[in-house]
Amino acid sequence: MPFRSAPVKLIENWFSERYSDNLQLSFRVKDQLLSVRTDFQRIDLFETYDFGKLLTIDGTVQLTEYDEHIYHEMITMMPFYAFGIKPESALVIGGGDGGTASGLLSLGFRNVTNVEIDSQVVEVSKKFFPDLSSAFKDSRCNLIIDDGIKYVRNISNKFDFVLVDSTDPEGPAEGLFSEEFYKSIHGALKPGGVAVTQSGSPLYQPKAIKLANSGMKKAFRNVYTYCCFIPTYPSGFWSFTMGSDSDLRFQSNERSGKYFNSEILHGALNLPQFVRDMIK
């Protein structure tokens, strides 16, 4: 099964993300609000009937208003409560829509640095997703437009939490799934700090989850994959992978989100056998 890749073509007002020659997910759209080619990628924005606004990059779904909370809660709250991370300083790499940085601020982080390679993703999000991107107007958030791979190489011992909120391992995001990059993240973390990356669909994107696991295992003592359901991502079954030299120490005072709660905190680490086999 190849990775997501397809030019954006509206056919009779349907946007389709092609997963393979034989499989796609389609949304009927009311309107195309924007289509722009940047130095890095192509960004499209649609108004859909059932999922609110839909943001795509290079023809792949990045977020919809209807289900973005699942992704953003699971990338922030799950490692935060599983490792009992201090809400002090965090680094987000990618995440130009602002959802991850905004989630960290709502968890009480005092400083969030967000390094996004493409300023246009930020501008689109500020205009069309003002709530999601609210972190970019907050003085606790420092937005840097740069390549996260380059940025993290020169940082040491600075962050409690590093979150890689990236596109798929292609184009500018390819290096965000490399062993060298995870080692740089390890260096950017304070001792015992925690890293997390989105690691794609175990069903349709085995490359992403395998790269995240093998790379993180070279950099961290403990690595865990966890899963959740995101209806608009390929297969609907999504994974994240987190690593740390600390041990898990589930916080018992966790806050619930719309998706995340204490059952999810413990249950999301229980993996189907095929996922366990894939990452062992």
> CB of 273: closest distance to ligand SAM in angstroms?
25
Cα–Cα separations (whole angstroms), residue 36 to 24, 43, 58, 86, 174: 23, 5, 10, 39, 22
* DSSP letter, residue 255: P
Chain positions 74 to 133 lying near ligand SAM, rule: CB under 6 A, are: 93-97, 115-118, 121
Pairing of strands 222-229, 189-198: unpaired
User: Which residue's CB is nearer to ligand SAM, number 174 or number 245?
Assistant: 174
Contact letters (x/-) for ligand SAM, 196-235, by CB under 6 A? --x-------------------------------------
* Residue nearer to ligand SAM on the CB measure, 97 or 245: 97
Q: Which stretch binds ligand SAM (CB under 6 A): 11-19, 142-150, 153-161, 215-223?
A: 142-150
- H or E, element range at 115: strand 111-116
Task: Choose, from 58, 67, 165, 168, the residue flagged as catalytic.
Answer: 165
Distance CA 210, CA 176 (A): 13
234-270 residues labelled b (16+ CB within 10 A) or e (exposed): bbebbbbbbbbebeeeeeeebeebebbeeebbeebbe
Which residue, 116 or 160, is less far from ligand SAM as judged by CB? Answer: 116
Residue ranges in 32-51 that form contacts with ligand SAM under rule CB under 6 A: 40
Minimal distance in Å, beta carbon 205 to ligand SAM?
10
Q: From the CA atom positions of the chain, what is the Rg in Å?
A: 18
Q: In terms of CB distance, is 96 or 257 closer to ligand SAM?
A: 96
**C-alpha span between 56 and 4 (Å, rounded):** 11
Residue nearest to ligand SAM (CB): 94
- Is 31 a residue of the active site? no
Are 68 and 165 spatial neighbours (Cβ–Cβ below 8 Å)? no
Shortest gap between Cβ of 172 and ligand SAM (angstroms)? 4
Sheet holding 141-145, edge to edge: 141-145, 111-116, 89-94, 159-165, 189-198, 237-244, 222-229
Phi, psi (rounded to 5 degrees) for 188: -80, -15
Bridge partners of 261, per DSSP, are none
Pick the binder of ligand SAM from 56, 62, 184, 235 (CB under 6 A): 62
Q: How far is the CB of 107 from ligand SAM (least distance, A)?
A: 18
Smallest distance from ligand SAM to CB 221, Å: 26
Judged by the rule CB under 6 A, the positions of this chain that interact with ligand SAM are 40, 57, 62-63, 71, 93-97, 115-118, 121, 147-149, 165-167, 172-173, 176, 198
Active-site amino acid positions: 165
